């Protein structure tokens, strides 16, 4: 029996994707007592009713969505003008329906909605509508918050604070944050959540969620990230007040600022390629830009609940893979892909990470013909192929794909070019391949002369290698690119990079000289 190609119609593809997210949240629904005042860890009849109501609401929403697509698009050909006029209306209608579901069921449903909103494969009507869930979440009543603080910090917890704002400054899908002032005068942010009933969930999922909602682990992750970025003055991680931190309550330094996505590429490129320690939830609500910093601002990295640590060999192999992707080294890409467990699907790695085919002659772009080829290749994939690929690659690989996907979703909204992302990743991949995994403790030891010299030497070598790669990409070793196109690529890159910064100007002036006379410095 011949398997049919994995090519769902748009109306079914979107519905199935959303159905999966809704089903995941539905499983979790019975664990939460609709934000009631009862925080007992033992299930009661009220919890069962709330769980049933949530489940019924979710099933009704999904069923209504399927019927809406089927009836609204019945008899319409996908290439017809009427279909093109109707489908955005159906998408928007159903997206609003799912938004209403998430807002009504709260908790894990909001988490699922946030995940759906960050995906590139769904229609823009869904991503724009569900993006409201990133910040606009109904807060828990303060009497619940007060009980959590009393249970975790003691009945006299109010004696530790000058003030605690009853209105939250942020309400996420599960936890929320309140501003407070300690008796010492320090401004702090208190992040907390009520006790959810995880015994109702399947054991594997319950274990995962319990781990994610362990604020002691989040605090440890936060401190490790702070050590990793100790010498990076552009990044700040709030200080943790351990004496006021438990599994349910996290008290940390209060940092004011505005949410931003700009400059995130270098931050996450350093995490992936250099530290090998990746923040697992880089959505806009977890990044602030503060007016404090050596350059007039600094990034504040929040929510350290989920991290993935890369094995050292894996990290270096991924650095090599990225170099191979940029240099269009198809043989090395396939070899490294097989090492990661991708097998026959290694040829699709350029499509996943750089948006080019493995046969592409362009490192930083695609021709019309190549785009058509890529489209046909993706159409030929079977559902079993995608499932097999996801199961065969290690969890570290999936973690990078997820973080990169969320990051791309953010920078796309900020009009950051795709080429900027590719070159930023390349710079850190080159450095990460040459350097050992940087340990935060070593970076903090400024008296470690050997370590400082070694880092400086590696930085110089990696900078030279990065320039060499840029030369190869622009004018040197990629066959089949007309010389006029090579010059155009070089000028476009230079015009996007040269700024008022003196050292940036110097580096790119040297780069331009090398483009004109490759032997100028040799």
Cα gap 440→226, rounded to integer Å: 8
Q: How far is CA 363 from CA 136, 247, 389, 466, 493, in A?
A: 40, 47, 24, 14, 13
Pair 279, 249: CB distance under 8 Å: no
Q: How far is CA 99 from CA 63, 125, 389, 477, in A?
A: 15, 11, 31, 50
Catalytic center residues: 281
Enclosing H/E stretch for 164: strand 161-164
- What per-residue confidence (pLDDT) applies to 161? 94
Pair 299, 225: CB distance under 8 Å: no
Cα gap 76→90, rounded to integer Å: 13
Cα gap 232→215, rounded to integer Å: 25
Average pLDDT in the 154-160 region?
91
Q: What is the pLDDT of residues 295-314, one digit of tens each?
A: 677 888 888 988 999 999 99
Exposed / middle / buried, residue 312 (Cβ in 10 Å: 0-12, 13-18, 19+):
exposed
- Residue 240 is given by DSSP the state B
The first and second tokens of residue 186, run together, are 């320090």
Q: How confident is the model at residue 13 (pLDDT cuts 50, 70, 90)?
A: very low
- What per-residue confidence (pLDDT) applies to 153? 94
- Residue 37 is given by DSSP the state S
Strands 235-236 and 187-192: unpaired
Q: How many residues in the chain?
A: 522
Which is more confident, 107 or 153?
153
Q: Which residues pair with 250 in a beta bridge?
A: 191
CA dihedral of residues 469, 273, 362, 381 (deg, nearest 10): 160
- In the Cβ-directed half-sphere of 9, how many Cα atoms lie within 13 Å? 13
Pair 262, 414: CB distance under 8 Å: yes
Among 186-195, 358-367, 368-377, the range scoring the smallest mean pLDDT is 358-367
Residue 223: other Cβ atoms inside 10 A: 16
Residue 235 pLDDT more than 60? yes
The proportion of the chain whose per-residue pLDDT surpasses 70, expressed as a percent, equals 68
- What per-residue confidence (pLDDT) applies to 70? 87
Average pLDDT in the 70-80 region?
87
Q: How confident is the model at residue 264 (pLDDT cuts 50, 70, 90)?
A: confident
- Residue 158 is given by DSSP the state G
Q: What is the pLDDT of residues 462-506, one digit of tens each?
A: 888 888 888 777 664 444 455 555 555 555 555 544 443 444 445
Pair 218, 286: CB distance under 8 Å: no
The first and second tokens of residue 259, run together, are 């949410």
Average pLDDT in the 404-412 region?
83
């Amino acid at each position: 029996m011949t398997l049919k190609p994995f090519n769902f119609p748009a109306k079914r593809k979107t519905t199935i994707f959303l159905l999966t997210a809704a089903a995941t949240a539905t499983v979790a629904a019975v664990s939460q007592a609709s934000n009631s005042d009862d925080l007992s860890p033992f299930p009661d009849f009220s919890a069962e009713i709330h769980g049933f109501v949530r489940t019924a609401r979710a099933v009704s929403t999904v069923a209504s969505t399927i019927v809406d697509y089927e009836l609204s698009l019945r008899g319409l050909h996908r290439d017809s003008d009427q279909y093109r006029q109707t489908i955005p209306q159906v998408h928007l209608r159903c997206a609003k329906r799912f938004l209403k579901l998430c807002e009504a069921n709260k908790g894990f449903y909001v988490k699922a909605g946030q995940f759906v909103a960050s995906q590139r494969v769904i229609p823009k009507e869904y991503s724009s509508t569900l993006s409201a869930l990133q910040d606009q979440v109904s807060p828990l009543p303060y009497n619940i918050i007060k009980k959590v603080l009393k249970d975790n910090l003691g009945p006299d917890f109010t004696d530790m604070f000058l003030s605690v704002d009853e209105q939250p400054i942020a309400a996420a899908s599960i936890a929320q944050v309140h501003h407070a002032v300690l008796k010492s005068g320090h401004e702090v942010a208190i992040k907390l959540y009520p006790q959810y009933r995880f015994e109702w969930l399947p054991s594997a999922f319950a274990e995962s969620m319990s781990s994610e909602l362990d604020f002691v682990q989040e605090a440890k992750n936060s401190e490790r990230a702070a050590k990793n970025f100790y010498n990076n003055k552009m990044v700040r991680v709030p200080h943790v007040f351990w004496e006021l931190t438990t599994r349910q309550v996290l008290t940390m330094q209060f940092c004011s600022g505005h949410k931003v996505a700009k400059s995130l590429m270098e931050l996450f490129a350093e995490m992936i390629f250099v530290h090998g320690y990746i923040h697992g939830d880089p959505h806009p609500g977890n990044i602030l830009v503060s007016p404090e910093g050596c350059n007039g601002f600094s990034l504040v990295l929040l929510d350290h609940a989920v991290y993935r640590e890369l094995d050292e060999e894996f990290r270096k192999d991924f650095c090599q893979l990225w170099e191979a992707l940029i240099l269009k080294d198809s043989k090395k890409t396939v070899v490294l892909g097989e090492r990661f467990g991708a097998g026959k699907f290694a040829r699709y790695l350029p499509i996943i990470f750089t948006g080019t085919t493995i046969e592409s002659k362009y490192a930083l772009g695609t021709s019309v013909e190549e785009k058509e080829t890529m489209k046909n290749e993706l159409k030929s994939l079977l559902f079993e192929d995608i499932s097999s690929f996801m199961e065969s690659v290690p969890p570290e690989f999936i973690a990078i794909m997820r973080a990169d996907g969320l990051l791309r979703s953010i920078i796309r909204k900020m009009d950051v070019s795709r080429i900027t992302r590719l070159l930023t990743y390349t710079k850190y991949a080159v450095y990460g391949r040459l350097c050992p995994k940087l340990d935060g403790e070593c970076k903090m030891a400024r008296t470690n002369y050997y370590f400082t010299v070694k880092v400086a030497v590696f930085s110089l070598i990696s900078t030279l290698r990065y320039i060499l790669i840029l030369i190869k990409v622009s004018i040197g070793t990629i066959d089949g690119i007309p010389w006029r196109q090579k010059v155009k690529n070089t000028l476009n890159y230079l015009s996007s990079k040269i700024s008022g910064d003196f050292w940036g100007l110097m580096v790119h002036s040297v780069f331009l000289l090398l483009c004109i006379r490759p032997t100028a410095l040799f």
